[in-house]
């Protein structure tokens, strides 16, 4: 088992925050890493106080499990990352 931690503080450094670009990054990363879920555990860290409620809800849609504060929660209906990415790209048009 390989464990990977991604610190997302870079979102707020030296550039304006883009919810759209961040969701594209999340969906594409999830689509690439998800097939290896049996050998790869990935934890993406955000500072939720810096994020809007709308953005947090969108993030939670594509993750099968979320850790918020000290609570671990399973998403019973996670979105398919490939379909979610397609939806994001269609919104961009």
User: Averaged over 54-68, what is the pLDDT?
Assistant: 85
Tokens of 51: 């994020």
User: Domain spans of the chain?
Assistant: 2-92
Q: Looking at the DSSP assignment, which residues form a beta bridge with residue 66?
A: 73
Q: Looking at the DSSP assignment, which residues form a beta bridge with residue 2?
A: 40
Predicted model pTM: 0.71
Question: Tens digit of pLDDT for each residue in 15-57?
Answer: 777 888 888 888 888 778 777 767 888 888 888 787 888 888 8
Measured CA to CA, the distance from residue 69 to residue 63 in angstroms comes to 16
Measured CA to CA, the distance from residue 35 to residue 46 in angstroms comes to 23
Supply the mean pLDDT for the chain. Answer: 82
């Amino acid at each position: 088992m390989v464990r990977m931690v991604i610190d997302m503080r870079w979102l707020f450094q030296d550039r304006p925050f883009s919810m759209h670009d961040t969701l594209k990054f999340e969906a594409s990363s999830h689509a690439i890493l998800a097939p290896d879920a049996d050998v790869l555990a990935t934890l993406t860290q955000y500072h939720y106080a810096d994020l809007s409620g709308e953005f947090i809800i969108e993030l939670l849609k594509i993750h099968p499990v979320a850790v918020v504060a000290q609570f671990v929660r399973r998403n019973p209906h996670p979105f398919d990352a490939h379909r979610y990415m397609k939806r994001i790209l269609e919104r961009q048009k």
